[in-house]
């Protein structure tokens, strides 16, 4: 579990995060949603240690991350898998080398052990045998799956995904969503997904936090989000004609 307590972050006069508190549960897909510029990425960066909050606490399984020294933080970071927008694969490395990269950086595993682990991860994302391809030789959906394989290569306890469906068609998005949900359950990971995609929220979001102007405005389940009377959420969820029509039909 990850617990955030009273976290605030400003850039000059721009008060981006205002006293955010929330718990992200283990074995669940926890989603952060909100308008562009509401502070989702800044929150995620504060939680993984890429930005320093002005105040507040971040606890990984009851351990205060912000108060840790560098060595302790590195130990926690080894347990965090990250899936960046666009995949962020290394173009000059093969698929296998990309997946083995965290193992090379953070473990003493032998090359043969790393290969075995890379093969396991490739199998899990249905890309067995694609080891020697370069990212440029793969599709956008495959690149996302390779990035997921890399993110789980260290058997993480925590997984952060920033817009995992960006740039994907609806069917491929569902494949990626299902993979994230299944891996979360199988490996009992505390998964945090930043998303704009209401389809993903409904499909795989176990628990959803809605940030509005830097505040934790609302939190609840994917079922609850469809029926809440909260105006700001309704403006966000039912922004598209499609969702409005769906709402009217279900009413």
Among 41, 107, 119, 230, interactor with ligand ATP by CB under 6 A: 41
Q: Is residue 139 part of the contact set for ligand ATP (CB under 6 A)?
A: no
| Distance of closest approach, residue 31 Cβ to ligand ATP, in angstroms | 13
3-state secondary structure (DSSP) of residue 118: helix
Question: Which of 49, 91, 53 lies closest to 74 in space, CA to CA?
Answer: 49
Return the residue of 2, 4, 7, 16 that touches ligand ATP, per CB under 6 A: 16
Smallest gap, in angstroms, from Cβ of residue 51 to ligand ATP? 7
Taking the complex as a whole, how short is the minimal distance between the CB of residue 81 and ligand ATP, in angstroms? 19
- Contact letters (x/-) for ligand ATP, 19-38, by CB under 6 A? ---------------x-xxx
31/232 Cα distance (integer angstroms): 17
- CA 177, CA 42: separation in Å to the nearest integer? 23
Angstrom distance (rounded) from CA 90 to CA 215: 35
Task: Report CA Rg, the chain.
Answer: 19
The nearer residue to ligand ATP, 40 or 130, going by C-beta atoms, is 40
H-only helix segments in 69-204: 70-78, 95-106, 111-124, 140-152, 170-187, 198-204
User: Which of 11, 72, 128, 186 touches ligand ATP by CB under 6 A?
Assistant: 11
Q: Quick check: 190 binds ligand ATP (CB under 6 A)?
A: no
Whichever of 26 and 196 has its CB closer to ligand ATP, that residue is 196
Nearest 5°: phi and psi at 225? -65, -30
Q: Do the bridges between strand 207-212 and strand 29-33 make them parallel or antiparallel, or are there none, so unpaired?
A: parallel
Nearer to ligand ATP, 49 or 102 (CB): 49
Cβ at position 14, least distance to ligand ATP in Å: 6
Of residues 16 and 95, the one with the C-beta less far from ligand ATP: 16
Q: Which of 10, 34, 37 is nearest to 22 (CA)?
A: 34
Span from 8-16, 59-67, 110-118, 119-127 in contact with ligand ATP (CB under 6 A): 8-16
CA-to-CA distance for 174 and 118, rounded, in angstroms?
24
Smallest distance, Å, CB 34 to ligand ATP? 6
Contact positions toward ligand ATP, by CB under 6 A? 11, 14, 16, 34, 36-42
């Amino acid at each position: 579990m990850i617990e955030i307590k009273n976290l605030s972050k400003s850039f000059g006069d721009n008060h981006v995060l205002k006293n955010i508190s929330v718990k992200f549960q283990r074995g669940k897909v926890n989603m952060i949603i909100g308008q562009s510029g509401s502070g989702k990425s800044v929150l995620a960066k504060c939680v993984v240690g890429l930005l320093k909050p002005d105040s507040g606490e971040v606890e990984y399984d009851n351990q205060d991350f912000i108060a840790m020294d560098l060595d302790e933080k590195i130990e926690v970071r080894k347990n965090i898998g990250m899936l960046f927008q666009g995949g962020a694969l290394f173009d000059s490395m093969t698929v296998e080398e990309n997946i083995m990269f965290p193992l090379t950086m953070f473990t003493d595993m032998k090359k043969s052990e790393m290969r075995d682990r890379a093969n396991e991860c490739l199998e899990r994302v249905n890309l067995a045998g694609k080891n020697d391809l370069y990212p440029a030789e793969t599709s956008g959906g495959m690149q996302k799956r390779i990035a997921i394989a890399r993110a789980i290569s260290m058997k993480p306890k925590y997984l952060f995904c920033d817009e995992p469906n960006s740039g994907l068609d609806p069917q491929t998005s569902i494949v990626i969503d299902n993979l994230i949900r299944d891996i979360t359950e199988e490996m009992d990971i505390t998964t945090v997904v930043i998303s704009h995609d209401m389809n993903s929220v409904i499909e795989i979001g176990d628990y959803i936090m809605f940030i509005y102007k830097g505040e934790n405005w609302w939190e609840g389940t994917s079922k609850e989000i469809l029926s809440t009377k909260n105006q700001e959420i309704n403006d966000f969820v039912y922004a598209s004609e499609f969702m409005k029509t769906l709402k009217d039909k279900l009413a």
